[in-house]
Structure 1
């Protein structure tokens, strides 16, 4: 089994990414919601500090769904934007990422609490290391979400194992990804994921080269 240090080394958290630590706060309008996201740029968080365009596309895709009352888990949440929007739209949401990202997510959840309260309760924020913490999570989900989490081929087996576990009771996976050749995204969706899932391209954004895929366990 992979050690925690080895697993973390697969995810970009390189001091060269952010030589100076700084924070930023931005408000995004998605699916009829104004969401304010605090981002803390530092070496430890690496890419988890950013709101990536694929997350915004996935949030906009929610306009085609009825999320009210749905049980949802988000993987590799980073800032928590996707899960926060889903919760604001009425879903029961669990937001997950590696432990270093959780404080940022918790702050963003707190900052986006609706004045009237969360429709189905505040999102839960939990650590989840793909392929390792699965015993702590049930399979009783209706949607499994991820935005820009397909970019390191070494993690693909861990991600697939995690998706299989979470989807045993019939959850639908929605993944939004920039189709970067150098990160193996096309291979993941055309070869790796279809080994155990039925995969469908449900939305494409040619101008940004971002695709949204739907997957269900075979």
Structure 2
């Protein structure tokens, strides 16, 4: 999810993380698939530019636990480079990738770059803008899975994210969230206070070395 902007905007667009604009092409081998992901540093993308370790943790967890993706309707929030959602689509899921408008060109470019030579096994991933708590009602509630990787870092957005998740999960979707547990961003409080206010939350994987947790959640 991209972040920066004026003080009243909970979704800032530029954290000034990168003074110059440059791109990096990386190859990832996950769940038997080879993904080529372009990361555009600078260009006001801020935290939407890189592939974060939490995204890789989520992919590995889904593989280790044999979470069924084929044929399922999946939406990813704060998709950034699109690694997680693109992988799910390559494995046969019907995927919608969402982020703030500024991040969508990078996201769409990565979708195009990872189109299988024989076509997508289900349908091509859809890329759409979604600002939590603002336009989530434009989206349906009939998902099977909601995927989130390293999007818990701005405390002012936590209530908006819970509101959005509650709408998306109204018909029974499960949520998988992978997070670097940054105390300075009050990430633990999201899972201990905000999310449990509406969801049943279970810690399903902890990586002590990376300080990364994966949670599974379902609407109460």
RMSD of aligned alpha carbons? 1.4
Per-residue CA distance 1:152-206 (angstroms, 9 max, x = gap): 1000011000000000000000000001111111111111111110000111111
Per-residue CA distance 1:42-83 (angstroms, 9 max, x = gap): 151001000000001111122121111000000000001110
- CA distance in 1 between partners of 2:10 and 2:214 (Å): 27
Query: How far has the Cα of 1:10 moved from its partner?
Result: 3.9
- Change in CA separation of 1:6 and 1:118 when aligned onto 2, cut-off 3 Å: farther
Aligned to 2:28: 28
**TM-score by structure 1 length?**
0.94
Aligned residues: 214
Partner residue of 1:168 out of 156, 170, 179: 170
Give the 4+ runs in structure 1 shifted more than 2 A.
4-12
**TM-score by structure 2 length?**
0.94
- CA distance in 1 between partners of 2:96 and 2:198 (Å): 24
Larger mean Cα displacement after TM superposition, 130-139 or 99-108: 130-139
Structural mapping, 1:40-55, within 5 Å: 40-55=40-55
- Change in CA separation of 1:190 and 1:177 when aligned onto 2, cut-off 3 Å: same
Aligned to 1:69: 71
Aligned to 2:88: 86
